[in-house]
Each structure stands twice: as C-alpha cells, then as structure tokens.
Structure 1
C-alpha cells in the first residue's frame, strides 16, 4: 500500500522518481524499492514522505481515505507543545511524536498480539526506568536488593523481552509481501 500511495502522490504532482528522491534526500534506488514495495521505509522516512505530500502516515500506510493532515510543521507543533509543557525537550517531543505515529499505525492494523507485545515492551522499559531510580526490596524478606540481585531480575525480564521482540519480528515478517 505504501509504495502505491507514494507513486500516486508523486505522479499527481508530475514528479519523476529522481526529482522526488532529490527533494527528500533519499537515494533514487531506495525510493524505487519503496514504490515497488520491495522495501518498507522506516517510520522517520514515512513521516518525511507524508510531510512532503501533506498527507497523514495513515493515508500512506493503510489506505485511509483521510488524506489531509493538520498543516502544522513539527516546529509549529513543538512550539504549541512547549507552551503547554514548557519542560518538554526536543528529544522528548521527538519521542512523543514517534510514539503517537506508532499508536496510529497500531490502531489501523488491529493485531491484538502485536499490540500486547508492544505494550509489554513499553511496560518493561517503564519499570526499568522507575526501578533504576529507587531502592528495591526483596519480595521474600523485604530486605533491599543488591545490585547483583537487581541485575539477575533484569536479565530474566530481558530474556522475556528478547522473546517478545522475536515474536514481533515474526509478525512483521509474515506481513511482508
């Protein structure tokens, strides 16, 4: 779907593949691979293409009929976010934007297993961040955990996350055409 949409939008503007690749600063051959669906763009590249054509990522990736997006550049959106959340850094804004884009893609795909895995991964990251900044206690005798005990717990959870990432890869691999 992505490749078809890119080609349609490019032709609507009367652009050659070479012209679009120059404007997007994407190698000509890579862009051709996207159009033929031989390769899928990263979320950042997908966002750049969507921004270039003033369409939504959803329009490019899922065939949504909602072509138009709010015409705010990332800078304008960041300024609005800064006014509302002055403590938000550029990196935090970028992370938020990527997370929102991922959420939109997940909503359209509606693969419950995929959503569950991603939710587990986010929860794992959240717990690791929270736990790294406070003292943890043993569930057995309520004594503080040593760094080694904490590392052991982390390694067990990491092993589970590795399995989840592998399962997520399998889901995406099956979706390849």
Structure 2
C-alpha cells in the first residue's frame, strides 16, 4: 500500500521521482525503490514524505483513507443518541470513525 500511495501522490503533485529524491536528499534510485516496494524508508524520510505530500503518516502507510487530519480545534462533532447515523453514506460514517480513531490515538498517552 505504501508504494502505491507514493506513486499516486507523486503523480497527483505532478512531479517526477528525481524531484522527490532531491527534496529528500537521496538518490533517484533510492526513491525509486520506495515506489517499487523494494525498500522502506526510515522514520525521518517517512515524516519528510508526509510533509512533502501534505498527508498524514497513517494515510501514507495505508492505515486510513483520510489524507490529512484537520486541526481539531476547528471541528465540532456532536455525538448523541438522537442522531441517526444510519442515514449517512458509508463514506461519511468512515470519516467519522477515522476521526474518532485519530482523537483516541492523540489522547491515548495523555491519560
């Protein structure tokens, strides 16, 4: 999933492998191995890729389809028993669940 996401993101951004490799300060060949799934970058490179493509690490790794979590200070979610979530499309339900997982992970270590 990681290699596929890298190829898709690079294509969407309209850049070639050499451009991304230059940004990362690595060889084009080394970056090409990431897109081919032959190598997995270290954590520092992953973070740089996440920033370069403006996506979350979870998205880059294929753990979620949410590209980038927005600043949660601008989001209000009202969860109550009166809300009928069954009427929402699957995509909306997935977004809500992904956000809930994001918040749980964010505050997991702050207990």
Name the structure with the higher helix share: 1
What 5-or-longer segments of structure 1 have no aligned partner? 72-103, 108-177
Q: CA-atom RMSD, angstroms?
A: 2.0
What 5-or-longer segments of structure 2 have no aligned partner? 72-101, 106-111
TM-score by length of 2: 0.59
Where relative contact order (Cα < 8 A, 6+ residues apart) is larger, the structure is: 2
SS at 1:5's partner residue?
A: helix
Q: Quick one: distance in 1 between partners of 2:16 and 2:67?
A: 21
**Shift, 1:70, TM fit:** 4.3
Residue in 2 that maps onto 1:69 = 69
Larger radius of gyration: 1
TM-score by length of 1: 0.38
Number of residue-to-residue matches in the alignment? 73
Q: 1:69 to 1:27 in 2, by over 3 A?
A: farther
The 4+ residue runs of structure 1 with deviation greater than 3 A are: none
Q: 1:24 to 1:69 in 2, by over 3 A?
A: farther
Give matches, 1:109-120, under 5 Å. none
Would the aligned equivalents of 2:5 and 2:62 in 1 still touch at CA under 8 Å?
Answer: no
